[in-house]
Structure 1
Amino acid sequence: MHSLEDQEKKLFELVKEDLRKIEQELIKEVSERNEFLHDPAMHLLKAGGKRLRPAFALLAAKLGDYDFEKVKPLAVALELIHMATLVHDDVVDNSMLRRGLPTVKANWGNKMSIHIGDRIFAKSLLLIDSCKNNYVAKVLAEVSVKMTTGEIQQLNGAKNISTSIKDYLIKIKRKTALLLSASCELGGVMANVSPRVVNALKQYGLYVGMAFQIIDDILDFTADEKVLGKPVGSDLRQGLITLPVLLALKRDKKHELWRELQNLPQNNANIEQIIKEIKYLGGISEAYAWAKNYIEKAISAFELVPKSPVKDTFLEIAQFIVQRNY
């Protein structure tokens, strides 16, 4: 039986060679003559990642007039935007580990992390300009603003156990789903895909993005720490109230979980017990159901897309999102 890692590699078979080229372009973009800048930027890049955003852009372009050179700057820019948000997130969240490795913050401190994040984001702007497409620039500008709004919303709502599920969904849409949606949509735009299919790509990316973040939030409670690359329960330790917690609270008739959560982060010693309560109350299983529902919506949005190996790949990726354990 193939591992999920093997399955993930096969999912991107159609764009495997071009993703390797994207990786080389990313190295070129983050490389610096100044060692002071080069080392932390390369550390961030070499920490790896799924490269889901450039993969989506390339696959979407495969549904139209595929020209790698034309879609390349978009694909690289998308990953740079994502990388910039990660390095900034690690400062805000005081995270010392990401993907099992020390963060830029851990090795070089907050000031360097902020500057590296800003610089990487600025380089994405140059690439976006080189796309020579006003719509691409407009969408990514709007998405970037909404991403920061989502991050501020998360910061403002930390430790607030009265957060509504609606507010949580709005936050993850802004933080995660919109950039994945743009990756799918704009890959199609750069390849002259028909407006109907571009809209399907946009909707697919949005729903997959919602499911992706929900699964991330579930894995914070259920994943193996070595596989996850950070301590289990990291979100709770930071006071972040995610969907499994909100769903468990709805079933918390005795208000025991509510009382435990009110004492976070001072109550970090009881994190394992709190996680057990969240699982017992069905927060994890119900959150999975929410993620699967979003995947069904993504698959439904793709119904009008003509059958092809590319379409099959998009549908397989959607199913993989809810199966992954990392």
Structure 2
Amino acid sequence: MEKMKLKMLYSDLKQDIDIIEKELEKALNSSSHLINEASLHLLQAGGKRIRPVFVLISAKFGNYNIDEIKNIAVPLELIHSASLVHDDVIDNSDMRRGRYTVKAQWNNRVAMYTGDYIFARALEYVTSIENQAVHKILAHTMVEICNGEVIQIEDKFRLNQNIKDYFRRIKRKTALLIESSCELGAIVGGAEPEVVRHLKRFGYYVGMSYQIIDDILDFTSTDKQLGKPAGSDLLQGNITLPILLLKDQPKIQKFIAAASNGFVTEDERLEMLEVVRNSDAIKKATVVSNQYLLKALKEVEALPNIPMKKKLRDIALFMGKRKY
């Protein structure tokens, strides 16, 4: 339902989004039957396609040409998809969006090679763009995403981390790719440098807000809404903002100790969810997300007054206020 509402917000871009979908299918075509199957499995899981949408909208602030814009929208979505495949191996996740992950459907080895293949196709796809600045930004984005994945492994079950550690991690995990989507869409679209800067900052702020909400929803949503068990982040050792705000509570410490040893009962999981949901950590984390959202909206206000300006604002508000 939430995904449907979001798609309605950018329904006038449907024709170009359909072009992106077809290009994604083409990009994932491989001579390997196994990689084809695994890639198609991932693509059919769908997704909000937030990153390509931000590319398209940002390009509207310049000289919009879908035949050029698709050459950056597709690789950005491919990079996101590849990072999800790798994340599922790192986190030992069997479910994503209510479907079996590539790792669960096949195995870790197939998942890692599939993720690597998708990364490689992203690089191959972007070679049609001559602007060296685009390649430099994209390369930096990929390096930082990989750094983020390693840091996430190092930080698993580590309670002595602080909020700055968390912010740095979610910047690499989520915000950076959304920031790059906005920046690169504007650059490829030929937008003015000042407009590019505002869109880049917008992408960073809305990406941070989006990930914090995602981390909150992991505790407040139902298993059905999430398509996986609520509290999965903590079960996998990922210490998110709500838990950082509760890390001194004995019950939370006890649960993390049990989870790190792989011994958590269903009753313990439900008790942990109750503790988090009844605390003030959810409200405090929401305040932080809203602070980032307000910064994003401020960047939107500084943009030229074209129809896409309101759409950017509406999508940002939806992302920052979604329920699951």
Q: Same fold (TM over 0.5)?
A: yes
Q: How does 1:178-189 map to 2 (within 5 A)?
A: 178-189=176-187
Task: Name the stretch that deviates more: 263-272 or 112-121.
Answer: 263-272
Change over 3 Å in CA distance of 1:5–1:120 after alignment to 2: closer
- Give per-residue Cα distances to partners, 1:56-87, cap 9 Å, x unaligned: 00110011100111111100000100111111
What one-letter code is carried by the residue in structure 2 that aligns with 1:313? K
Q: How does 1:267-282 map to 2 (within 5 A)?
A: 267-269=263-265, 270-282=268-280
* Offset at residue 155 of structure 1 (A): 0.6
Matched-pair contact (CA < 8 Å) for 2:251–2:272:
no
Give TM-score scaled by structure 1 length.
0.95
Alignment of 1:73 onto 2:71: yes
Matched-pair contact (CA < 8 Å) for 2:27–2:125:
no
- Give per-residue Cα distances to partners, 1:105-142, cap 9 Å, x unaligned: 11111111111111111010011111111111100111
* Residue number in structure 1 paired with 2:15: 17
* Offset at residue 256 of structure 1 (A): 4.0
Change over 3 Å in CA distance of 1:12–1:167 after alignment to 2: same
CA distance in 2, matches of 1:133, 1:48: 30
Give TM-score scaled by structure 2 length.
0.95
> RMSD across aligned C-alpha pairs, in angstroms?
1.4
Alignment of 1:299 onto 2:297: yes
Alignment of 1:241 onto 2:236: no
CA distance in 2, matches of 1:73, 1:136: 11
* Offset at residue 210 of structure 1 (A): 0.4
Matched-pair contact (CA < 8 Å) for 1:161–1:262:
no
1:166 is paired with a residue whose SS is: helix
CA distance in 1, matches of 2:90, 2:79: 17
CA distance in 2, matches of 1:35, 1:173: 35
* Offset at residue 150 of structure 1 (A): 1.2
Matched-pair contact (CA < 8 Å) for 2:7–2:48:
no
* Offset at residue 98 of structure 1 (A): 0.8
Q: How does 1:90-105 map to 2 (within 5 A)?
A: 90-105=88-103
Alignment of 1:118 onto 2:116: yes
* Offset at residue 278 of structure 1 (A): 1.9
* Residue number in structure 2 paired with 1:144: 142
Matched-pair contact (CA < 8 Å) for 2:206–2:320:
no
- Give per-residue Cα distances to partners, 1:200-252, cap 9 Å, x unaligned: 000000011101111111111111212211111111111111001111236x4
Query: Which residue, 240, 257, 265 being the options, matches 1:262?
Result: 257
Query: Which residue, 133, 143, 154 being the options, matches 1:156?
Result: 154
Task: Name the stretch that deviates more: 276-285 or 74-83.
Answer: 276-285
Matched-pair contact (CA < 8 Å) for 1:244–1:287:
yes
Name the count of aligned residue pairs. Answer: 321
Matched-pair contact (CA < 8 Å) for 1:177–1:208:
yes
Change over 3 Å in CA distance of 1:36–1:162 after alignment to 2: same
* Residue number in structure 2 paired with 1:197: 195
CA distance in 1, matches of 2:141, 2:68: 21
CA distance in 2, matches of 1:236, 1:257: 10
* Offset at residue 282 of structure 1 (A): 1.0
* Offset at residue 277 of structure 1 (A): 1.5
* Offset at residue 187 of structure 1 (A): 0.3
Task: Name the stretch that deviates more: 170-179 or 29-38.
Answer: 29-38
CA distance in 1, matches of 2:13, 2:224: 29
CA distance in 2, matches of 1:245, 1:41: 34
1:95 is paired with a residue whose SS is: coil
Identity of aligned residues (%): 42
What one-letter code is carried by the residue in structure 1 that aligns with 2:319? I
* Offset at residue 7 of structure 1 (A): 2.3
CA distance in 1, matches of 2:53, 2:73: 8
What one-letter code is carried by the residue in structure 1 that aligns with 2:69? V
- Give per-residue Cα distances to partners, 1:271-315, cap 9 Å, x unaligned: 221222222221111111111111000001222112222010110
CA distance in 2, matches of 1:163, 1:54: 33
> Is there any run of 5+ residues in structure 2 with no aligned partner, and where?
none
What one-letter code is carried by the residue in structure 2 that aligns with 1:19? I
Matched-pair contact (CA < 8 Å) for 1:14–1:310:
no
